Amino acid sequence: MTMMNTRRLTRAATISLLVGLLGIITTAQTPEAAAKIDPVARLSTELEPKVKEEIQQGRVPGFAIGVVRNGKLIFAKGFGVAKLGVNTPITSKSLFHMASVTKTFVATAVMQLVEKGKIDLDAPLIRYLPYFRLNDERYRTITIRQMLSHTSGIPDTVNYNWDKPEYDAGALERFVRSIADQKLVFAPGEKFAYSNTAYEILGDVIAKVSGESFEDYVQHNILTPLAMKDSTLLVREANPQLLTSPHVMENNKVVVSKIFPYNRAHSPSSTLYSSIEDMSRWAIANLNHGELDGQRILKRETAESMWRPVVAAFNLKEGISWFITEKQGHRFVLHSGGDVGFESLVVLAPDDGVAVVAMSNFASSNHDLIEQFVSGAMRIMLGLEQPATAASAPIVATQLSTEEAKKKADEVLANYVAALGGRAALEKITSRVGKGNFEVSGIAMSGPVEMYAKAPNLMLMVLQMPGQETFKDGFDGRVGWEQNPDDGITDKTGLELGSAMRDADFYQPLKLRLQYPNLIFKGTGKVSLGKGGTGKVEEREALVLEAPRNGSPRRFYFDNVTGLLVRTEEWNAAGKMTEAVEYQDYREIDGVKVPFTIHIVQDAHFTIKLTEVKHNLPVDDAIFVKPRK
């Protein structure tokens, strides 16, 4: 079994916030009595206490939220502090790094230039940037429209070099020129795949077409006309008294990040700094179809065209920068953002005249607080009920006693070992080397992967990301570790370390009972393998085992016909599934069944397809050792 934290691999993982918000529109109307209560009063009595509890429990240092109705900001509150150790309170004026929400400003700027006749959406990119190159002749056909809707095939960025920020106006063009050796991940226009890089390039287009820097153009044509007085794309121009600090989790503790996410080379995809008060003006301008206080930044028809669905994306639709969905009588237009130490979310319900904006100075890998709070606020404003918590798949619970359930689990485990090839065959194998390719669903990211395992308990996965960046996930017999461009080298802790330690055991199929003494048969269920990934989807009837793990269970799904393991799940104490791994396409190698397709499902969905697996090759122990920082 293979577990890794894919959240650190891509900023677009915050798109999961968008998908999670679908829960707000799958509910019935609230009881009539609740609907009659003033929504602002309900925000104060129902939402505020929940936010304050998270702050008091130390789970998030600072959070701000604003609610717009009928063109007015009716609720704006800040909670917590701008920086741990410094008691500056969060207010509705506090500035946060808005991350990918910045893209909605890029798209608006492009559409302004379209209205002026300076950009043709269906013209090739190279008309405006003759120096743009990729190591793929198809780049010549990429259009502006495709870039705006994430259908260009331009590979995503992995390393933003937040620790090596550039501040000069030439940084953006240098970045655009620097990717010339990369290849498209698919033919332009073929499908959706989120690309931050495409938006960096669009920022450079804006600069070259307008004759001023990207940041100056947005300031002069969007921020200033909308009176977003404290907002800026240049961190050195942000009011230091209002600017919040990023926070991350280190060793199970929330701390101030050593890295502040700013680099002018990535301004178009990421570096808007804004507040609840200013972002509420942005929300109102969009709800008004491009106008605020007599200042029109887009024609009405242009603004509406940005919400017109272009392509399916993350169970939603993508328009021009904005994500769109419509269910149960409500239309939602939204975008999220997330970078080192920051998260943000903007959700519009244009037909209801409602918007919710929220931002946090903490980016958690396993806590969707911003989603919960925005969903809660939107439910209150639209008069919707709290949705029921959805499980990964319904499980028909067993009626067996605890002892009988343990005995049944042992039978399932014995069948699993036999299905793999038997104990004797497994014990003949001492190392495994797999090579193949990976792809991230909905994100323009793919590349080669190598997987190494060696007895007794050594494991390493290496993914080559776009731009020659490398991600590593390993266990050296004692320490579980990861290496990635954003965070460098980090140690695994808590349940993540526990799972990594068990999964690194080369003979884990023979030791699952020893690893999980309280493992029991939980029941039966159906699983859809590969759903949301690349490749075929398979329906399987499964026998489900569960290890309680003090209220944070781990589940194992075994094919009822073949006996093979097809899925594992990690659950937290709040009853939420945090990650899953699925196994398909088992093939026999040296008398042992090995899965050639692996899906790693967290915020993003990684599909790994192996092309070769070899056993008992000499593998140097040194490759598993945690690198020096």
Report the DSSP beta bridge partners of residue 488. 484
Mark which of 323, 354, 382 sits at the end of a domain: 382
**Counting Cβ atoms within 10 Å, is residue 497 exposed (0-12), middle (13-18) or buried (19+)?**
middle
Say if 390 falls within a structural domain.
Answer: no
User: Tell me: the pLDDT tens digits for 337-370?
Assistant: 999 999 999 999 999 999 999 999 998 765 578 9
Angstrom distances, CA of residue 311 to CA of 86, 194, 391: 45, 12, 28
String of b and e for 527-546 (b: at least 16 CB within 10 Å)? Answer: bebbebbbeeebebebbbbb
Mark which of 347, 382, 417 sits at the end of a domain: 382
Same domain for 353 and 447, yes or no, is no
Same domain for 84 and 181, yes or no, is yes
What domain range includes position 265? 17-382
Query: Phi/psi at 587 (nearest 5 deg)?
Result: -130, 150
Q: How many domains does the chain have?
A: 2
Say if 12 falls within a structural domain.
Answer: no
Say if 389 falls within a structural domain.
Answer: no
User: Tell me: the pLDDT tens digits for 531-547?
Assistant: 877 778 899 999 999 99
Q: Where are the alpha helices (DSSP H) in 421-540?
A: 423-428, 494-503, 508-515
Same domain for 218 and 184, yes or no, is yes
Instruction: At 334, list the tokens.
Output: 């939204």
Same domain for 421 and 546, yes or no, is yes
pLDDT at 328 exceeding the cut of 90: no
Lowest-confidence pick of 84-88, 110-114, 532-536, 548-552: 532-536
Four-CA torsion 133, 134, 138, 144, nearest 10 degrees: -60
Same domain for 33 and 86, yes or no, is yes
CATH number, position 276? 3.40.710.10
User: Tell me: the pLDDT tens digits for 403-435?
Assistant: 999 999 999 999 999 999 999 999 999 999 999
Confidence category of residue 179, pLDDT binned at 50, 70, 90: very high
Confidence category of residue 21, pLDDT binned at 50, 70, 90: low
Is omega for the bond preceding 155 within 30 degrees of 0, making it cis?
Answer: no
Cα 138 from Cα 153, distance rounded (Å): 10
Same domain for 545 and 617, yes or no, is yes
Cα 87 from Cα 405, distance rounded (Å): 53
User: Tell me: the pLDDT tens digits for 462-481?
Assistant: 998 776 678 899 999 999 99
Q: Which residue has the tokens 């808007």?
A: 272
Mean pLDDT to the nearest integer, 82-99: 96
Say if 11 falls within a structural domain.
Answer: no
pLDDT of the residue at 244? 98
Query: Phi/psi at 84 (nearest 5 deg)?
Result: -60, 135
User: Tell me: the pLDDT tens digits for 220-271?
Assistant: 999 999 999 999 999 999 999 999 999 998 877 999 999 999 999 999 999 9
Cα 66 from Cα 357, distance rounded (Å): 5
Same domain for 416 and 331, yes or no, is no
CA 20 from centre of chain:
11
Confidence category of residue 573, pLDDT binned at 50, 70, 90: confident
Say if 5 falls within a structural domain.
Answer: no
Same domain for 469 and 599, yes or no, is yes
Percent pLDDT > 90 in the chain is: 76
pLDDT of the residue at 498? 85
User: Tell me: the pLDDT tens digits for 489-508?
Assistant: 888 888 788 888 999 999 99
Say if 2 falls within a structural domain.
Answer: no
Say if 619 falls within a structural domain.
Answer: yes
Same domain for 377 and 399, yes or no, is no
395 closest CA partner among 523, 575, 556: 523
Confidence category of residue 8, pLDDT binned at 50, 70, 90: very low
Same domain for 403 and 354, yes or no, is no
Helices vs. strands in the chain: H and E counts, helices first: 17, 29
User: Tell me: the pLDDT tens digits for 140-161?
Assistant: 999 999 999 999 999 998 889 9
Same domain for 377 and 415, yes or no, is no
CATH number, position 440? 2.50.20.10
pLDDT at 1 exceeding the cut of 60: no
User: How many Cβ atoms sit within 10 Å of the Cβ of residue 619?
Assistant: 17
pLDDT of the residue at 469? 79
Same domain for 413 and 367, yes or no, is no
pLDDT at 31 exceeding the cut of 70: no
Predicted model pTM: 0.85
Query: Looking at this protein, which amino acid is placed at residue 217?
Result: Y
Mark which of 358, 382, 406 sits at the end of a domain: 382
499 closest CA partner among 544, 547, 542: 547
Say if 249 falls within a structural domain.
Answer: yes
Longest dimension (CA), the chain: 79
63 closest CA partner among 91, 29, 26, 25: 91
pLDDT at 451 exceeding the cut of 60: yes
3-state secondary structure (DSSP) of residue 609: strand
